Amino acid sequence: MKEILIATTNKGKVADFKTLLTPLGIIVKSLLDYKDIIDIEETGATFTENAILKAEAISKHFKTNVIADDSGLAIDALQGRPGVYSARYAGFEKNDQANMAKVLEELEGIPTNKRTARFHCVLALAIPNDETKTVEGTCDGIIATSPIGDQGFGYDPIFFLPELGKTMAQLSKEEKNQISHRANAFKQLKGLLESINPGKETSL
């Protein structure tokens, strides 16, 4: 059977990947399934560099197929911040509420038409003894003036989707996995998996 280790301890991300990969018959594991967790320092200047760093290090350590993602929020009015620092924007410890509060404070007084932003996701696929490959996806929106919704995680409650009239945190998992940055990257990943084994059933 097919198995992929998702290089994260974030339960929200694990749930997203299970929703996306399980229908393909892929067994999804994460770092939450292992006692021996290695901490990878994200020293890259871009989402792509960080995703590759994590995927290759964890694939080498566990000797298995690994998907690592690096994703975050880029806000135009903040010159692309928080960007690669999205998870720890308000400080070293990851805190979703503090991160959102900092963003909202920095955008205070900025009109709606200037609050454009996008979620960006890069997925790196590391397979032992093979070259690491990457795909990416984005999702455009507007930063709301206050958090709305209790689904999702991260910046989802302040990421408003004009075409749906909801924030990302107001969407069901099924809705989110149709339009999210990670879902769009996953669509590219499916094509990548098929290219690895042309003419055959997708398999790792």
What are residue 37's phi and psi, to 5 degrees?
Answer: -100, 125
Q: Is 50 annotated as a binding residue?
A: no
Q: Is 8 annotated as a binding residue?
A: yes
Helix, coil or strand: residue 131: coil
Q: Which of 33, 39, 69, 70 is catalytic?
A: 70
140 is catalytic: no
- Pair of tokens at residue 189: 């990943």
Q: Is 71 annotated as a binding residue?
A: yes
DSSP string, 36-95: -PPPPP---SSHHHHHHHHHHHHHHHHTS-EEEEEEEEEEGGGTT-BGGGGGGTTSSS--
Q: Is 154 annotated as a binding residue?
A: yes
Q: Is 181 annotated as a binding residue?
A: yes
Q: Is 115 annotated as a binding residue?
A: no
User: Which residues does the annotation place in the binding site for substrate?
Assistant: 8-13, 71, 153-156, 176, 181-182
Residues labelled as active-site residues: 70
User: Which residues does the annotation place in the binding site for Mg(2+)?
Assistant: 41, 70
User: Which residues does the annotation place in the binding site?
Assistant: 8-13, 41, 70-71, 153-156, 176, 181-182
